[in-house]
Amino acid sequence: MKNEIKVAVDAMGGDYAPTEIIKGVVEFTKKNDVKVVLIGKSDLIYSQLDNYKYSQNKIEIMDATEVISNDDLPTEAIKHKKQSSMVVGLNMLKGKKVDAFISAGNTGALVAGATLIVGRIKGVMRPALAPVLPTLKGFALLIDCGANVDAKPIYLKQFAEMGSIYVKNIIGISEPKIGLVNIGTEEKKGNELVREAYKLIKDSDINFIGNLEARNIFRGEVDVIVCDAFVGNIILKHTEGLVKDMFDLIRKELTSSLLSKIGALFAIGAFKNIKKRFDYKEYGGAPLLGLENLVMKVHGNSKSGDINAALNQCVKFIENDITNEIAEKMREMKEI
Amino acid sequence: MKNEIKVAVDAMGGDYAPTEIIKGVVEFTKKNDVKVVLIGKSDLIYSQLDNYKYSQNKIEIMDATEVISNDDLPTEAIKHKKQSSMVVGLNMLKGKKVDAFISAGNTGALVAGATLIVGRIKGVMRPALAPVLPTLKGFALLIDCGANVDAKPIYLKQFAEMGSIYVKNIIGISEPKIGLVNIGTEEKKGNELVREAYKLIKDSDINFIGNLEARNIFRGEVDVIVCDAFVGNIILKHTEGLVKDMFDLIRKELTSSLLSKIGALFAIGAFKNIKKRFDYKEYGGAPLLGLENLVMKVHGNSKSGDINAALNQCVKFIENDITNEIAEKMREMKEI
């Protein structure tokens, strides 16, 4: 276990930056013996920190004059906004000045920047962004939702390995079940990519349960859902959109008549339970797996509690030395 | 307009075959001057028909001794079960003995069989299965959900053209809006397939509104959702699964306490409205577009009303001569 952990946080990324980001960091440092570096416009950060009592030797401030917005083109932003909180943070991580970097900012820019600046673990062909999807039984890791839209079978196999290591260590499931997203359960189903990936994953020592049909994604039959980033993004965004729109529809219908309004009043507790279940942020941030050091994406609309949760998740990641375990796995693979 | 329309129906396919299929056909023929051929085990069909008053010159029976089940491998089943209701029906269609064929049976077998037996319209590279997805504004055609899991950009362009023609004629939307499923709205987003398809569709005379992000699929922003069959199947099945599981979850929560039970009682009408909105069968069957003659897939759990609706849809398809309009479009394309 590392003696002193230090995590950098992008104070400027996300819908509620910097207020909620800073609030989350203050909350976290009160309960944890971990240092946090807040990166962003320092005058803004200092003025916000004035609202709290906080331990000055746990929170550092690193000035960054620029901000990457959601409208910025990812690669362009990384190349040209060298003084942005995101690029400054990724460079600190690369230089080993911190152990992890958290951002709620532009996802595309974060993935591109992390790959370009931080660098991959030897043997990892593509880093993968792995958010958590809510399921009927709890949740599952969805890997990849990053930038590898033209994937190769070997990438999917590595995603399965990295996802397995992550879930085992962070969630504590000793033998995570891995499923490959496909349009049928039989081995020969699907396109060339998944047919080849199926063979590779089957021949590995992963606890592979085979193809996972989309109708069962929400059922919670597997702990790790493997797919290329195009499919992963479709699943993630479609789920988010459909769930949000369905709740809007339910709200609209329930307020459409006096009878249903009365019903809604009685059933409000039940609805809150269901809604909580679909709250992505309940499950923390999405790690970018396969990098030399940890980069974690948190949802754009994260509030202080989510930042706090992501910081705890980073600590667990570092204490369990997951980067090293992935590196070990890659070495093993090379030897075979 | 054709003078006498004749539609063949697979009496043996689907969860409620043959009872509900036959019931639907009887209902339909009572109100329409269209002939229907029921294909399947004739003794079974005759014994079921005995339960109804029906016009014998509107309903014919064609004996087929075999049945293709959902467990059969598609191509194998088509090759080996020559006496199945599905293969007999497709051969009748090929021989122009009927104008359309409807089946609630094994989707893979139907798509494979239709492509092998019925044949494509000249110029159509791949036929596409186009079911309807419910949306906040009504519904949208999702094309392709068939068997083209390794698609090429030109296929997607043709799907956009065929989907546009279908929606214009069958739904009556004069200029259907076409969207391409992608992971971002910008032209350069996505994998090689969609980037190339984007260019082809943009340069055509289709009412192309650009890329459609998955989070907006349910919003109803477009009338035709274009994607390859792998992605289409994921979207279709994920939507079905998630909606079903969410309703199960809501039911469970609403019956978990006395308070919520009371609430549910008052709000029951509101829930029925929402559920109806998500009932796929409300929107009829899924045509297989691009074939020389119409093959229509109806949901496996179709009941008599759904069969009735699908028969009406077939009549509209034939009366509007959609096959010919697609053929015209393909000739135009060739001339350019």
| 3-state secondary structure at position A59 | strand
Identify the bridge partners of residue A36 per DSSP, sorted by sequence position.
A7, A59
| 3-state secondary structure at position B16 | coil
Identify the bridge partners of residue B296 per DSSP, sorted by sequence position.
B102, B287
Q: Does residue B130 contact residue B166 with C-beta atoms inside 8 Å?
A: yes
B267 vs chain A: nearest CA distance in angstroms? 4
CB–CB of A267 and B273 under 8 A? no
Does position A2 have pLDDT exceeding 60, yes or no?
no
Phi first, then psi, for residue A226 (nearest 5°) are: -100, 135
Confirm whether A1-124+290-336 and A129-281 share one CATH topology: yes
* Chain A residues near residue B257 by CB distance under 8 angstroms: 269-270
Q: Which member of B246, B250, B266 has the closest CB to residue A263?
A: B266
Mean pLDDT of A97-120: 96
- Residue in B closest to A216 by C-alpha: B241
- A246 close contact with B: CB closer than 8 A: yes
How many CB pairs lie under 8 A apart between chains A and B? 166
Pairing of strands A59-63, A35-40: parallel
Among B188, B153, B194, B231, smallest CA distance to A108 is for: B188
- B95 close contact with A: CB closer than 8 A: no
The CATH architecture assigned to A129-281 reads 3-Layer(aba) Sandwich (3.40)
Structure token digits, residue A301? 């609309």
Phi first, then psi, for residue B72 (nearest 5°) are: -70, 145
Q: What is the pTM of this model?
A: 0.91
Mean pLDDT of A129-149: 90
* Chain B residues near residue A267 by CB distance under 8 angstroms: 254, 259-260, 263-264, 267
pLDDT at res. A1: 45
Which one of A73, A149, A252, A274 would you mutate to disrupt binding with B, by most B Cβ within 10 Å of its Cβ? A149
Q: How confident is the model at residue A282 (pLDDT cuts 50, 70, 90)?
A: low
- pLDDT tens for chain B, residues 1 to 336: 456 999 999 999 999 999 999 999 999 999 999 999 999 999 999 999 999 999 899 999 999 999 999 889 899 999 999 999 999 999 999 999 999 999 999 999 999 999 999 999 999 999 999 999 988 888 899 999 987 788 999 999 999 999 999 999 998 899 999 999 999 888 888 999 999 999 999 999 999 999 999 999 999 999 999 999 999 999 999 998 998 888 888 888 888 888 878 877 877 877 788 877 777 666 779 999 999 999 999 999 999 999 999 999 999 999 999 999 999 999 987 765
Give the whole-angstrom CA distance, residue A68 versus residue A75: 11
pLDDT at res. B282: 65
- B97 close contact with A: CB closer than 8 A: no
- Residue in B closest to A231 by C-alpha: B231
Give the whole-angstrom CA distance, residue A312 versus residue B157: 48
- B188 close contact with A: CB closer than 8 A: no
Half-sphere exposure of B94 (CA within 13 A, CB side): 14
Element at A172 (helix H, strand E): none
CB–CB of B267 and A254 under 8 A? yes
Amino acid identity, position A169 = N
Start-to-end C-alpha separation, chain B: 29
- Determine whether B305 is exposed, middle or buried from the number of CB atoms within 10 Å of its CB (0-12, 13-18, 19+): middle
pLDDT at res. A336: 57
CATH 3.30.300.20 fits B1-124+290-321, yes or no: no
- B242 close contact with A: CB closer than 8 A: yes
Among A226, A196, A8, A271, smallest CA distance to B251 is for: A271
A265 vs chain B: nearest CA distance in angstroms? 7
Give the whole-angstrom CA distance, residue A219 versus residue A133: 11
Q: Does residue B18 contact residue B112 with C-beta atoms inside 8 Å?
A: no
Q: For residue B266, give every residue at least 6 positions away whose Cβ sits within 8 Å of its Cβ, in sequence order, or none.
A: A259, A260, A262, A263, A264, A266
Question: What digits encode the pLDDT tens for the residues A32-85?
Answer: 999 999 999 999 999 999 999 998 999 999 999 999 998 898 999 999 999 999
- B253 close contact with A: CB closer than 8 A: yes
pLDDT at res. B287: 97
* Fold of the domain spanning B130-283: Isopropylmalate Dehydrogenase (3.40.718)
Per-domain residue ranges of chain B: 1-124+290-321, 130-283
Q: How confident is the model at residue A264 (pLDDT cuts 50, 70, 90)?
A: confident
Average pLDDT, chain A: 92
pLDDT at res. B22: 98
Q: How confident is the model at residue A276 (pLDDT cuts 50, 70, 90)?
A: confident
The per-residue DSSP string of B243-297 comes to HHHHHHHHHHHHTSSHHHHHHHHHTHHHHHHHHHHT-GGGG--EEEETBSSEEEE
Mean pLDDT of A124-150: 91
Class of domain A1-124+290-336: alpha beta
Question: What digits encode the pLDDT tens for the residues A167-212?
Answer: 999 988 999 999 999 998 888 889 999 999 999 999 999 999 999 9
Q: For residue A260, give every residue at least 6 positions away whose Cβ sits within 8 Å of its Cβ, in sequence order, or none.
A: A253, A254, B266, B267, B269, B270
